Amino acid sequence: MNKSLVLGGVLVIGLLGTTAVCAADPAPLRGDGDIWSSTDVVQWQDRDPIPRDYVQQPPMVPHTVEGYTVNLKVNKCLTCHSWANYKEKKATKISQTHFSDREGNDLANVSARRYFCSQCHTPQADAKPLVENLFQPLPAISNR
């Protein structure tokens, strides 16, 4: 028998096998739900400042932050919330705590450990909580 014929046969069988493996979709981690259908979650856009629920809670972001870049070169949040800009932009200014390093020294600009805003300050969405939450805000700082 011709050598190339054998080789071709092996290739065809190999290809068929691969196709069979690919055809069997792995079970999706998300479950069987349709991932393309839109959710009812609506991003909060441009609200008043959100009341805080406990002492030293980082204020939440009452607006969308889509496309806002925060990297080593630039911080989009600070173009409104920095001390130099907040008055003109009518925004909340970042607190003085953001200027101290971990030794407690006051720095001339925002400290690296307080620079990446969304580590603590998050935009909110009108989403149903996944689990029940019995947390009650402190009456002393919240009138809810």
Partner 1 sequence: MSSATEDKNILARWWGALKRPSTRYAAGSLLGAGVVAGIVLWGGFNTAMEATNTEQFCISCHEMEENVYREYQNTIHYSNRSGVRATCPDCHVPKEWTHKMVRKIQASNELWHKMLGTIDTPEKFEGKRLKMAQSVWHSMQKTDSRECRNCHEFDSMDYTKQGRRGRAQHIEGFDAGKTCIDCHKGIAHSLPAMVEVDPSAVMGDGKRHR
Residues of the shown chain interacting with partner 1 in the complex, contacts defined by CB under 8 A: 45-47, 63-64, 67, 69, 72-76, 78-79, 82-85, 89-90, 99, 101, 105-112, 115
Q: What are phi and psi of 28, to 5 degrees?
A: -70, 140
Token pair belonging to 71 = 């990297």
Least distance (Å) from partner 1 to the CB of residue 64?
8
Nearer to partner 1, 90 or 144 (CB): 90
Q: Give 25's DSSP letter.
A: P
Least distance (Å) from partner 1 to the CB of residue 141?
25
Least distance (Å) from partner 1 to the CB of residue 134?
33
Token pair belonging to 19 = 């196709």
Rounded Cα–Cα distance for residues 12 and 44 (Å): 56
